[in-house]
Amino acid sequence: MASDKFVSANGLRLHYVDYGNDGAPWVVCVHGLTGNAHNFDALAPHLTPRYHVISVDVRGRGDSQW
């Protein structure tokens, strides 16, 4: 199950979606210029049986701060 999470880096609040599978190798999904973390909602369920998938909102996109 996907969960929205936030992390602070250099004073910025950045958003990411954690699709889970603790202990598995990580896959980090990064969207293009006009996208957001939820661009991978359809792909992530296919990857989570083998990988711990996270999808980030880059700075200024989605729910991440500028």
Inter-residue contact 4 to 57 (CB < 8 Å): no
Instruction: Kindly list the domain boundaries of the chain, sorted by start residue.
Output: 3-56
Coil, helix or strand at residue 50: coil
pTM score, two decimals?
A: 0.89
What pLDDT digit, counting tens, does each position of 6-64 carry?
999 999 999 999 999 999 999 999 999 999 999 999 999 999 999 999 999 999 999 99
The pLDDT value given to residue 45: 96
Burial pattern 33-49, b for ≥16 Cβ within 10 A else e, equals eebbbbbbeeebeebbe
Q: Is the pLDDT of residue 1 over 90?
A: no
Query: What secondary structure does DSSP assign to 3-17, as a single string?
Result: EEEEEEETTEEEEEE
The pLDDT value given to residue 30: 97
Tell how far CA 59 is from the center of its chain: 12
